[in-house]
Structure 1
């Protein structure tokens, strides 16, 4: 979406982390911004803080609840608001070995990380297709590419998002619709979601990550890996080397398989 000015963006998980930063960046580019989040207090704080940059509003929505998505989207429509840019940013991680997950942990992770972006896109895609214009940006993960201990369910949810998101891009192209889809594959971002993680690969700074995502949207990038070399090197290594060598290199040399050992996550 090369022309952002006077368009409307909806960001899920927009009251904190990179969602909040992206909201600020888009406001400065002349967009109207709507943030959806589950934390009403943070929504109010973010709206008050960013209102000096432009037109911003917020709704308290549990994106894992399809009825709340439908009801709130109808409220937006009744107010004459259309979503031109949808950024599916909301996500959660449990950070335990798979056998330590409860069924509730599994269902909630898949509901928020995987099903919610699909339901949200399904909700707003109809209007985009009618107008033959729009952009959907899905925040997947580097975990969409590499298996990792203590994030089996998270990785599964993000692998699904990657496959679905890029398939959606191809569908819009096949249908000759002017609707762009950008899939983001970031490494760990220092927002608190992955607090405690230790990594040989530098953890991403939220401001620079958010800025890179907005630039990718403006340039209609299909896939953006952060940092850029992860996607290319991972794909090549998986294609060329046997799994035991790949495991050794990723696990022992890069230390990826041990990054979640010291994970603590958001402080409650």
Structure 2
């Protein structure tokens, strides 16, 4: 799937890797870039910044925790712009707390944005892709959807749900003989501000620019699943072969993953 002359929709596209992927889409020849984000100022600033690039930029202020807003805005997009060729479900939030410290709103909102929204958004645009028998859906999940982690219980739950749904959708499209390519991305912490304060003893905190480039190439190459920096197969193989206590010891004492969120601050608004 190439981006040349395509219509691309990116959620959470006014900041972080979403914004970088938007720029890279235009640089790769996308004809139209549609950005959904809740940050109205961020949308305006991003549009102004990208206006120097070739391609039309259309922005929508959308709260993806609201399914009705998703459905209504998707219909506006389809009526005014047409079919989406590449959908990148990137919007997400994190609350770094022990589970008992979460409010009920924390739980509901994180599940709504990180898990429910990507299903509602894809459901809104998938039928037209299936009718044309071409399209690409990239779901930005997280390595937290592969490995349990203290102070990330709800975030991990949302990402486990996202990964399970995303790869199941890929298998459904394959079973139905549709040329709809589903790519599931599972990155480690990315240095965008969302995970400010996290620590990592061995695994590198990912830098936004090269991470976004790897995701773009994964879409172009129709990659099924991409975990970084640890490959997906290594994580699953280790979990499958090692006793839980040994796997946990390695995650704790070798990779330091279980202590990563101890000094988490997150993006300060």
TM-score (norm 2): 0.97
Name stretches of at least 5 consecutive residues in structure 2 with no aligned partner.
none
Contact 2:65 2:113 in 1 (8 A): yes
Distance 1:253 1:78 in 2: 53
2:43 equivalent to 1:47:
no
Tell me, yes or no, if the aligned pair for 2:225 and 2:232 is still in contact at 8 Å. Answer: no
User: Helix, strand or coil: the match of 2:233?
Assistant: helix
TM-fit CA distance, 1:230: 3.7
Partners of 1:76 and 1:124 in 2: CA distance: 10
Answer yes or no: is the 8 Å Cα contact 1:197–1:263 preserved in 2.
Answer: yes
Listed one character per residue, the Cα deviations across residues 76-123 of structure 1 (whole Å, up to 9, x for unaligned) are: 122132211110000001000000001110000000000000000000
How many residues align? The count is 266
Q: Where has structure 1 moved over 4 Å in runs of 4 or more?
A: none
Partner of 1:34: 34
Map 1:153-232 → 2, pairs under 5 A: 153-200=154-201, 201-227=203-229, 229-232=230-233
Contact 1:142/1:230 (<8 A) preserved:
no
Superposition deviation, residue 64 in structure 1: 1.2
- Correspondence for 2:9: 10
Q: Which moved more, 1:236-245 or 1:35-44?
A: 236-245
Using the TM superposition, give the Cα deviation of residue 257 of structure 1 relative to its aligned residue in structure 2, in angstroms: 0.0
1:36-185 aligned within 5 A: 36-54=36-54, 55-185=56-186
- Aligned to 1:217, the other structure's residue is in SS state helix
Distance in 1 (alpha carbons) for counterparts of 2:168 and 2:26: 30
Q: Structure 1 residue 144: deviation in Å?
A: 1.0
CA RMSD after TM alignment: 0.8
Normalised TM-score (structure 1) = 0.97
1:53 alignment partner, SS class: coil
Aligned mates of 1:117, 1:100 — CA distance in 2: 26
| Displacement of 1:66 | 1.3
In 2: Cα distance, 1:102 partner to 1:197 partner = 22
CA distance in 1, matches of 2:166, 2:63: 21
Deviates more, 1:233-242 or 1:214-223: 233-242
Matched, 1:23 2:22: yes
Aligned-partner Cα distance in 2 for 1:171–1:78: 27
Q: Which moved more, 1:137-146 or 1:64-73?
A: 64-73
